[in-house]
Amino acid sequence: MGTEKADILVGIASFNNAGTIGHVVKAVDAGLLKYFPDKKAIIVNSDGGSKDGTTDIVKTATHDHDAIFLSHPVYPAHRISIPYNGIPGKGSAFRALFRKVVDIQADACCVVDADLRSITPEWIELLLSPVIQKGFDFVAPLYSRHKFDGTITNSIVYPVTRALYGKRIRQPIGGEFGFSGKMADFYVSQDVWESHVARFGIDIWMTTEAIVNDFKVCQTFLGAKIHDPKDPGSDLADMLLQVVATLFNMTERHYDKWMDQKGSSDVPTFGFRYHVGLESVKVNAEKMLNIFMAGLKDLRNIWMDIMGPGDLGRIESLGSLTGGSFRFPAGLWSDVVYDYAIAYHRKVMSPEHLIRSIVPLYLGKTASFVLEAENMEQEGAEAEIEKLCLEFESKKDYLVTNWK
């Protein structure tokens, strides 16, 4: 039985997303019909064994085509649900999608999260057109997000990726991506599927590999990203571990690519940027500060092994700042992150302990940002993130010098 070929594949990785996946499938279907009516497309749901009927919804979700497409009759794209093998996680689900892209010899592919509430048909056009019409290999998303949302992106992943590889991809772990068949072929041939890449490390891995292997990269503005709250049963510190461990692994693997890189430059950006009303996000800065202070009291010896007396002394001096006056300077934060990258490289301790020990520092930095940006507009908060990125870029020599 031969594999049927298609021009476009849209992948949706899911696990118990019955509440939202119907809307996602409808939006994808409408997007394909509206913007790529002459292309043969397939929607593939890579499911991690949902028990809530997610896969049934993928097959049955329909919308009123006549209401959307007034001028011509259209037919929905073919849909399939495939289970994946390997370590349970988003990365393994993506691997199954990459394989499918290669099997059906698709020219372009995009992946979207199954828990999205704000996805529209236009997202499909915005993620696929740069690949189909402009020849790009990798399309990263660009969203409007609340100033307190996506703090791991803002305080670690974006500044480090930008400083190391010199590309200003604002949402390197956004979750939605477009890519070419060539890019999928590259991804599937890599031997990383027993690592954190098989879980939440997949996003930063995809972005970094696309940059360092000289694929044509760009970003596209999708508007606001609103998704379901994360599963409260899952340990969010595990996500931090998987993302940061993959980020540091990439740093380790691609030393020769980032060592000589100075400064950073914009990547081509598509989509019409507009102001979006955003859902407010509540953060408990006091709780974060308490964990930072607990770390200061109890993790001193571990931090000493990682940062040494100089930076640890500067961290300890923050302990005297209380409440609203607490500030974690951007320069100190960049030094801390680089200290951690160096300690990871030197194998100072078990990688898991090392990365988990950054959590109180990260929460301290996040609390500082929340207090500082409390009364700022979105633009002001973004300007603070820009300052932080420039700190990471200007202090990169510290990382290069101490790497060997």
Rounded-to-integer distance, Cα 349 and Cα 343, Å: 8
**If binding is defined by CB under 8 A, does position 349 make contact with other proteins?**
yes
Neighbours of 64 (CB within 10 A): 8
Rounded-to-integer distance, Cα 364 and Cα 329, Å: 11
Site for other proteins in 165-204 (CB under 8 A): 173
Q: Which of 68, 82, 348, 390 touches other proteins (CB under 8 A)?
A: 348
**If binding is defined by CB under 8 A, does position 68 make contact with other proteins?**
no
**If binding is defined by CB under 8 A, does position 363 make contact with other proteins?**
yes
Site for other proteins in 289-308 (CB under 8 A): 290-291, 294-295, 297-299, 302
Q: Which of 281, 304, 321, 383 touches other proteins (CB under 8 A)?
A: 281
**If binding is defined by CB under 8 A, does position 287 make contact with other proteins?**
yes
Residue whose structure tokens are 């118990």: 16
Shortest distance (Å) from residue 146 CB to other proteins: 8
Rounded-to-integer distance, Cα 353 and Cα 360, Å: 13
Biggest CA-to-CA distance, the chain: 70
Smallest CA-to-CA distance from 404 within 212, 255, 208, 249 is with 255
Contact range with other proteins by CB under 8 A, out of 146-154, 207-215, 270-278, 385-393 = 146-154
Exposure of 39 by Cβ count < 10 A (0-12 exposed, 13-18 middle, 19+ buried)? middle
**If binding is defined by CB under 8 A, does position 40 make contact with other proteins?**
no
Q: Which is nearer to other proteins, 244 or 250 (CB)?
A: 244
CA 309 to chain centre: 33
Q: Count residues contacting other proteins (CB under 8 A)?
A: 41
Q: Which of 347, 375, 379, 401 touches other proteins (CB under 8 A)?
A: 347
Contact 400, 394 (CB under 8 A): no
- Single-letter amino acid, residue 73: P
Q: Which is nearer to other proteins, 301 or 401 (CB)?
A: 301
Structure tokens at 309: 């007396």
Shortest distance (Å) from residue 290 CB to other proteins: 6
Q: Which is nearer to other proteins, 44 or 239 (CB)?
A: 239
Q: Which helix (H) or strand (E) holds 11?
A: strand 8-14
**If binding is defined by CB under 8 A, does position 149 make contact with other proteins?**
yes
Rounded-to-integer distance, Cα 305 and Cα 23, Å: 49
Interface residues with other proteins (CB under 8 A) are: 146, 148-153, 173, 229-230, 232, 236-237, 239-240, 281-284, 287-288, 290-291, 294-295, 297-299, 302, 347-350, 352-353, 356-357, 359-360, 363, 366
